Amino acid sequence: MNAQWASELNAWLRANPQVDTLFLSESAECSRHAVAPATRAARIAKYQALLTSYPASVKHIVVLRDNPRTRVDMLDCVERARGDGVPAGPACAAPRAEVLAPDLLALAAGSLQLPTVGAVDLSTYFCSAVSCFPVVGGVLVNSDTHHVTALYSRTLAPFLGRALDAGRWLER
């Protein structure tokens, strides 16, 4: 998140105090370049400052961990697998370490240990311990290298709901 965006969001939130819950995410690809421990720590500290800078009217902040990326040839691979009659999920899986980058915004949210800030990680619904799958339960996961299909998003709704309930970030 860049400074201008953060500043504009804070101004908007101050002008709209009825908004009491934020859902945030950021491309974890931005974190791939923060590999040096000092760079990584500085970025996490920056995110922690951002997450604690919102107006008091914001009662809940939920950071959604970024989803895995897929390889550029993923859709072609899925098409080939379907044509060959083999399950596309395992046939076109990508190494988890290659496509699931560290998400420093989610790490920052989780490390704050504040009752009003939390992170939700749904990566277990995309990946095993070693691979991430382009098709899960017969549903295409990504529409391109970094966007989740609408159908797969809908299948994640109950799991997101349970995570939110467990975190008690949202009052009912």
Q: What is the pLDDT of residues 109-165, one digit of tens each?
A: 999 989 889 999 999 999 999 999 999 999 999 998 889 999 999 999 999 999 998
Would you say residue 91 lies in a domain?
A: yes
pLDDT of 171 strictly over 60: no
The structural domain count of the chain equals: 1
Pick 40 or 111 by higher pLDDT.
111
pLDDT of 68 strictly over 60: yes
DSSP for 106-170 reads HHHHHHH--TTEEEE--GGGTB-SSEE-SEETTEE-BSSSS-B-HHHHHHHHHHHHHHHHHHT-S
Q: What is the pLDDT of residues 86-105, one digit of tens each?
A: 999 999 999 999 999 889 99
Collapsing DSSP states into helix, strand and coil, what is residue 104?
A: helix
Structural domain boundaries, residue 149: 3-167
Query: What is the C-alpha to C-alpha distance for residues 130 and 135, in angstroms, rounded to an integer?
Result: 15
Host H or E run for residue 94:
strand 94-95
Would you say residue 172 lies in a domain?
A: no
Query: What is the C-alpha to C-alpha distance for residues 23 and 62, in angstroms, rounded to an integer?
Result: 5
20 token code pair: 């009491």
Average pLDDT over residues 68-97: 94
21 token code pair: 């819950």
